[in-house]
Every structure is written in C-alpha cells, then in structure tokens.
Structure 1
C-alpha cells in the first residue's frame, strides 16, 4: 500500500541487523527518507526439531525462525552444535554428545547481537 506520504510493505528473509531503507517506486524513482531512518530486524526462534536426542548426539537439529545468518554460532548446553546449513529462516546443526541427560538450552549467538535461547530436551 502506498500514498503520497506513506509506504507499507512486508519484508521477509532478512538477517537480523540494522538497515537503511531504499525504496524504488515503479516509474517514479527512489523514495526520499530522512537520513536517520533505519529499520531494525531481530532474530527469533519459532521451533526446534527434533526436540530430543540421545546422549550420543550426532543428530541433525533444525532450528526454525527468522533473522538468521551465517554469522551465528549454536551451542547446546555448553557444547558447540556444528552448523550444517544456514538460511535466514532455518539453521541445521549436528547435536554434540553429552554425558548428562535432561533439559539444556539451545543458544544462537551472533557477534554484537543479543543471545537467542530456546530449550531442547536430551533423553
């Protein structure tokens, strides 16, 4: 939707971060913005699959959400989950082995960003 003074749009598949918007209006050129205008996208976890693993690890865990990038690292408990694939909406990593069963945190971390944490149950 757009008027002379307002533009609304949906933006998807964007890594988290701060961006300066650039909008090209079909047949009219680029829209003008205050030079201080920024758009901030945050990352969020929606789902983990599977939600459990054996103590031996070596299970691919799919983390679904928004705002992901290749700059993320993933830990399960205090151990690194080796990343297999990354898109802006999905990270797949290989769960590490553990000696203790029970619920541990799955944490995504990106340099200079806040941590994003979800829980996963290791059985």
Structure 2
C-alpha cells in the first residue's frame, strides 16, 4: 500500500519537474508572451494593440534566432554589470569625499536602481 502511494507521488513529482523543464525559452518564450498579449488585446477589443502585436509576432517568427537573442541579452547583462560597478564606485567616492547625506542617499538609490535593472536582465537571460 505504501509503495503504491509513494510510487504515485514520485511519478507526479517527476512529471511536475519535467513540465518545468519544458517551459519555452528564447524565441519560443518571446513568441508565447506576444501571443498571450495578443489574446488579451483581442479580448479587450483593442484593435490597434492587436495589430501591433501581430506585427511583432510576425517579426519574431521571421527574424528571431535563439543564439542571437541570447547574445543580445548577455551583452545587456554585461553592460548593466559595468553600470552597477560604476554606480558603486560613485557611491564609494561620495562617502570618501564626505559628501552630504542627501547626495550619498541619491547615490545609494542609483546603486539600487542599477541592481534592479541587472536583476531583471539576468532573469531575461534565463528565459
């Protein structure tokens, strides 16, 4: 009895793990996102947005290449990493120079914004 339920549970868990591995990536994920937005636009009766999304869908089908898309996303991550380092250096310099707390807080905010942009780009890199 235990094996029957244990085996069933293991089978269900392996199926869930397999389903997670089958999520679309790259151009397929981009296409799926556009198609989901297209369905929403049509349901809302937003014809102009639907037409734009249809053009975007066609462009992805025609021009998207997984390797090229990955390289573009990787380049963006690298640029944002450099931007984050620059912002961190500006913050360090402001602290070392004894700048006002207002200026230091603004630099901290810029560091946080750069980190958020980088996190977002890294998440896209995995899609």
State the TM bucket, normalised to the shorter chain: under 0.3
Q: Greater CA radius of gyration, 1 or 2?
A: 2
- Which structure shows the bigger proportion of residues in strand conformation? 1
Q: Which has the higher contact order (CA 8 A, sep 6+)?
A: 2
Q: TM-score, normalised by structure 2?
A: 0.22
Q: TM-score, normalised by structure 1?
A: 0.22
- Which structure shows the bigger proportion of residues in helix conformation? 2
